[in-house]
Amino acid sequence: MSQPLEVLRQFTRKVSTEGIVLLKNDQNILPLKISNVALFGRMQLHHYYSGTGSGGRVNLTDIENMIEVFSQYPKIDLNKKFIDLYTDWEIKNPFNHGDGSWKSEPWSQKEYLISKNLIIENKREEEIAIFILGRTAGEDKDNQNKSGSYKLTKIEEQMLLRIKEIYDKIIIILNTGNIIDMTFFEENDFSTILYFWHAGQDGMYGLADIITGLITPSGKLPITIPKSIKDYPKNEYDSSNKKIFYNEDIYVGYRYFETFEKDRVLYPFGYGLSYTEFSYESSDFIINNTQISFTAKIKNIGKCFGKEVLQVYLNHENSLIGKPLVELIAFSKTKYLKPQESQIINYNIDLKDFATFDDIGLLSENSFVIEKGKYNLYIGTCARTMKLVKTFIIKKNIIIEKHSYSIPSKIQFKRISNKNNSIIYEDTPDKRLEQEQVNLEKIHPNVSKLSKKDLSNIILGEGMYSKKVTPGTASAFGGITESLKEKGLKLFCCADGPSGIRMDNGSYATRIPIGTLLASTFNLSLIQELYQLVGHEMNNYQIDLLLAPGMNIQKNPLNGRNFEYFSEDPFLTGMMASATLKGLNKAGVTGVLKHFALNNQETLRTKIDVYVSERALREIYLKGFYYAIKNGAYAVMASYNKINNYYAASNKDLMTTILRDEWKFKGIVMTDWWSYLNDNNKTDTISMIDAGTDLYMVVEDAQTHKHNVIKNLNDETIISKLKLAATHIFNFNDDYKELRVKEIDFKKYQSNYLINEFDETKYEIKQEKENIIQAVNYQEERVDTYKIKQNKVEKLLEYTEEIDFLEEKIELKIEKPYNYKIISKKYLETTLSIQIKKITQFIEQNTILILLNKKVILTTLIQSQEDLYQTQVNLINGINALEIILPDRIKIESIKLEKNQI
């Protein structure tokens, strides 16, 4: 029986550490020293690990809650009295999962209001309070600007104020899939706040690694957090015919706030704190036509190891067309840098990728242009904190690409424009004449073998839960009939989704962190490696396509499905999606880009008609898809909604003019499940194939399904459209065969995985050893002295810790990082010799040894009884540090505890 990949589960923990965002640490409470900790908030018993709907339904073998995880960290001594209070309370107030349908689970859970006297009675001396607050939302269920959803409940506010009155040190953990209202936290001056996005199956370990200092936080916000939801620009909405107008145009997220409303920003795009500090500078700037290159040097000037994200922004002064104040055009995440270590990063940027779309004709109508004028290039650590790299002049306008009119809005409406960084409103361009596309694609040779019945069947996918493929998955398509199989078409299996493989037959899979967290890592190589492992898990279950990544723009925090998506920025979105596909493709499978396009709300998602300018469409809402398609996409899923009066799946301008003619996409396009097509029905497959969409998802049985193509199989125009759709499916069939040939064998991959990371993140073994030392050193909050020799490290303090790597290039792996048991202080009541024996037995029972027939010996000399507990702390935390910094590459061969002469 197929099983989830343990190596994937372990890797998700590493990913979660890089995506947790530290917003505030004003009292320097974090990282924790050895601390008494009281947990508050019912989410300590049942935290959220994904949103709801198709993107969050993954069957898990197990998941550990906050109490179970935090209990394994020696630096955290949990207050058991509060744990007992919450456990007893939950018996009478069970977690509300709803009735099983997607909409039924509430945004939040009822909270426990503990009396002030009870808190005082159970509080210990010098205790730190941690309050975890949870929110969820998802498919078919948007957030709302009300308490219990976007806003806090009265009970949550009362409880937080009680805790603040009694505790001097409070840590707020926001366990959400989306940003929430931060007003209460700011008004009441809570000093320590982290966004712990839904982090998958073992994300709670990642959180513990961060707050205990085993890992330094490096997550950055992929979205802007404003002071109030009222600060977002408003969209006109016509409820009578369900039309919504995107009046903010290209000014979405930080493009709006940094240009027009800087003082309304609480936390800017790209922001996130660390436990260390970095300096950065640039040099060697060169511009050649549209190509920019320069070098950046970033240095860790703090006291502990860490990573930083260097972000590159472009500003165009006094643009005639109107531009945002800044736009993200590149980013890089460093390796782990120890204190005083530097890294050089080289940037090569083509300004063509960030050209402006002139839909009015100020420079060249319906063209991508680089406008002449003065530009400023910046590097920084968020959209607000930057240094000037260079000011440069482009002397003349450059026309990059000229296009025909696509997806014109048949209704004019007002949109925001920029004049001297102040808002003005202008009309969108007038309705343009639609143009007939001419198909120049070559028909696949296998298509000539297809009968009319084959052509009718090939455009249908079967599901949900087709018995022809892996049970419980989303669909089967391609060789769904014997006749199509005989013509050389493989039977393909699709499965949801963005948070891991959904199989509604009860099969288990690994739940990975949500899109918001992945984007918060700003680490493309990390995401690529994550999805290569996801791809190998797909192979375990004979799944060919993952219905991911979700790529819609996080336009507004009330979108319930934001957790599936990456960012408010199209460039970051496109790069994250590209990394996802590269990873899947290395495993010989692929993903489906979704939802193409403008699926930015769940309310009325199958009825809403989105009116948007062509400029905003191309620069914001399609741009991420463009990057992903240029980086190796094979499949796209249409959205449910209408765009400028036409359903996306039946929108010829979108599916043919832009996607195929302009972007040269050769893969398949499928509808979302049970989509409406033009004329507001689900059987108008003629309009679907006429638009350039190839597959209707899903029907129960392709051979008996009634759709309007069947009555028109003698129409040569319809037959030509069917042949074109069949060509796209056969082209995908051929491309998939090539993917399978290029697949990296998982057994060989596992072997290499112990030795190498992807090129983008590889760093020297010597540096890794030093990182381990930094982790142990920093988390113990000591100023230790180290002597580093070629093959060993001696720690000079109350005890000596010797790590002998035996060979300069030896690499190891911890295989069971989740089974540590804490040896409590009470054991110190026994004799020293018995205690040493107990620790030795613990080590032998809870570590799996060996790697590449090499050995590593970790010897700790205990010099006093007082050092004994500290030794336990360092052994266990040292193992954790090894596992995190060298994930899945370390095995402890043996650990010996020897009693020194006292």
- Return the active site residues: 672
For residues 96, 97, 99 and 103, what is the CA-based torsion angle, rounded to 10 degrees? 110
Judge whether 86 and 63 are in contact, CB under 8 Å.
no
- Return the structure tokens found at 46: 């049942």
Alpha-carbon 315 to chain mean position: 27
The CA distance from 318 to 320, in Å, is: 6
**CA distance linking residue 798 with residue 105, whole number of Å:** 53
Give the number of other Cβ atoms within 10 Å of residue 694's Cβ.
28
- Sequence-separated (6 or more) residues with CB below 8 Å from residue 834: none
Q: Which helix (H) or strand (E) holds 729?
A: helix 716-742
Q: How many residues does the chain have?
A: 902
Q: Which residues contact 636 (CB under 8 A, 6 or more apart)?
A: 592, 593, 594, 596, 625, 629, 659, 665, 667, 668, 669, 670
CA-based Rg of the chain, rounded to a whole angstrom?
Answer: 28
Cβ contacts of 841 within 8 Å, gap of 6 or more: none
DSSP letter for 711, please.
G
**Distance of alpha carbon 250 from alpha carbon 180, whole angstroms:** 23
32: buried, middle or exposed (CB in 10 Å: 19+, 13-18, 0-12)? buried
List, edge to edge, every strand of the sheet that includes 127-134. Answer: 21-25, 192-195, 170-175, 127-134, 35-40, 76-78
Q: How many CB atoms lie within 10 A of CB 260?
A: 18
Cα distance between residue 888 and residue 816, in whole Å:
9
Residue 869 contacts residue 830 (beta carbons within 8 Å): no
For 522, 577, 807, the CA distances from 573, given in Å and listed in that order, are 10, 6, 42
Which of 629, 542, 653 shows the shortest CA–CA distance to 587?
542
440: Cβ–Cβ under 8 A, 6 or more apart, which residues? none
Q: What is the DSSP letter of 417?
A: E
3-state secondary structure of 314: strand
Q: Which two tokens stand for residue 491?
A: 């039977």
Give the integer Cα–Cα distance in Å for 570 and 627.
Answer: 9
Pair type for strands 590-591 and 593-596: unpaired
Per DSSP, the residues of 477-514 read EES-SHHHHHTTPPEEEEE--TTS---TTS---PPPPP
Contact (CB, 8 A) for 95 and 41: no
Neighbours of 542 (CB within 10 A): 12
Residue 457's closest CA among 696, 656, 149, 625?
Answer: 696
Is 524 within 8 Å of 475 (Cβ atoms)? no
Contacts for 89 with CB less than 8 Å, ≥ 6 apart? 42, 112
Give me the torsion for CA of 637, 642, 646, 652, rounded to 10°. Answer: -20
